[in-house]
Amino acid sequence: MFHRRHFLGIEGLTKDELLFLLSTAESFREISEREVKKVPTLRGKTIINLFYEPSTRTRTSFEIAAKRLSADAINITAAASSVAKGETLLDTARNLVAMRPAALVVRHPCSGAPHLLARLVDCPVINAGDGMHEHPTQALLDMMTIRAYKGEIAGLTVAIVGDLLHSRVARSNVLALTTLGAQVRLVGPPTLLPPEFRLWGVEVCTDLRRGLAGVDVVMALRLQRERQARNFLPSIEEYARHFCITPDALAAAKDDVLIMHPGPMNRGVEIDSQVADGPYSVILEQVTNGVAVRMALLYLLATQEREATEEQAEVGLHAPRRHAGALA
Ligand code: NCD
């Protein structure tokens, strides 16, 4: 069961909650296989996508998910909103929530931004990626994809390769994989390995071939150049020479290895085209599963009863909405 008001991260979720979310998402997948890809579940409800960072897959996926559930989906990108006029995140969110959406989907460059909104606005909040912190819906769609091919996640060995330091995808996936019983191996250059992962019960390897030896799944990560405040690498060519996932580097992995990438890919940098488009790649399957995961979450969060927290009541967010007699 899943009784949370918001979906902010994988951190803190129990194994049972994760399994419940995955089986709910799996039950939604079939709707996207129908000729008419629409059910009336969220008819009359509005979902707002508030994106302060570029996105192709995640934003489209949330929009399609909302529309397949018959909700009205509204997309707001920071550049085209009052953010450009200096409005704060909280003021923007409060104004949007005043229009009574059933859920607010937020992507923001600052870690913790969706968590702040979840405390201070009266609406379910879904984290669509916060800075270098978490990208929980990506982790769910990755778990769903692995389950579709491997059955169970428990007992698998999964290598996550590349820019682990700046990756919210890696953080959410490590949490999901370890909670579900997989063995995780982080593979990358020492400058891109976050030291705190050592505390999370994962292996760390700075050599690509050794890192891929015997693994069931390889998750490639994009080199997050926009988040690299200083030079973590001598050059892109140098990085690619040592860490690009090529057919040759994959030779040490299991024969039925799955190749994953959250997108957008830098072909020839973190992943070779022969691998990205090869027979073991499930990269587009991940995208397909993303819609089902987001349908499941929107369904679970947008159909719950409204209840103000004490903190929201304190800051006046649950004050009477109209004067008595206003409609008389
Ligand atoms: C990822 C992201 O934005 O965190 N992409 C995605 O949502 N599919 C990964 C990335 O940007 O590299």
What percentage of the chain's residues is helix, strand, coil (to nearest 5)? 45, 15, 40
At 325 the pLDDT is: 47
pLDDT score, position 215? 98
Distances in Å between the Cα of 164 and the Cα atoms of 227, 299, 306 are: 12, 32, 38
Q: What is the per-residue pLDDT for 318?
A: 47
Q: State whether the beta carbon of 222 lies less than 6 angstroms from ligand 1.
A: yes
pLDDT recorded at residue 200? 83
pLDDT digits (tens, 9 = 90+) for 10-22: 999 999 999 999 9
pLDDT of residue 196: 84
Output the pLDDT for position 322: 44
Determine the distance separating the centroid of ligand 1 and the alpha carbon of 170, expressed in angstroms. 10
Is the CB of residue 135 below 6 angstroms from any atom belonging to ligand 1?
A: yes
Pocket test for ligand 1, best of 49, 51, 58 (most atoms within 8 A of CB): 58
CB of 261 shorter than 6 A to ligand 1: no
Does the CA dihedral 290-292-298-304 come out positive or negative? negative
129 lines ligand 1 (CB under 6 A): yes
Q: Amino acid identity, residue 206?
A: T
Exposure pattern of 264-287 as b/e (b: 16+ CB <10 Å)?
A: eebeebbbbeebbeeebbbbebbb
**How far, in Å, is the centroid of ligand 1 from the Cα of 262?**
6
Expressed in angstroms and rounded, the spacing between residue 59 Cα and the centre of ligand 1 is: 11
Tell me how far the alpha carbon of residue 129 lies from the centroid of ligand 1, in angstroms. 8
- For residue 93, which of 110, 80, 76 has the smallest C-alpha distance? 76
Ligand 1 centre to CA of 274 (Å) is 21
pTM: 0.92
Convert 98-110 into a string of H (helix), E (strand) and C (coil): CCCCCEEEEEECC
- Give the tens place of pLDDT for each residue, 285-301: 999 999 999 999 999 99
Closest CA to 193 of 160, 163, 233: 163
Q: Print pLDDT tens along the chain (328 aa).
A: 899 999 999 999 999 999 999 999 999 999 999 999 999 999 999 999 999 998 999 999 999 999 999 999 999 998 777 777 888 999 999 999 999 999 999 999 999 999 999 999 999 999 999 999 999 999 999 999 999 999 999 999 999 999 999 999 999 999 999 999 999 999 999 999 988 877 888 999 999 999 999 999 999 999 987 777 667 787 889 999 999 999 999 999 999 999 999 999 999 999 999 999 999 999 999 999 999 999 999 999 999 865 555 555 555 444 444 444 445 4
> How far are the Cα atoms of 104, 220, 255 from residue 38, in angstroms, in the given order?
21, 33, 39
Instruction: Determine contact, residues 191/218, Cβ cutoff 8 Å.
Output: no
Cβ-based neighbour number of residue 100 at 10 Å: 12
CB of 262 within 6 A of ligand 1: the answer is yes
pLDDT (0 to 100) of residue 229: 61
Q: 84: which 2 tokens?
A: 């450009």
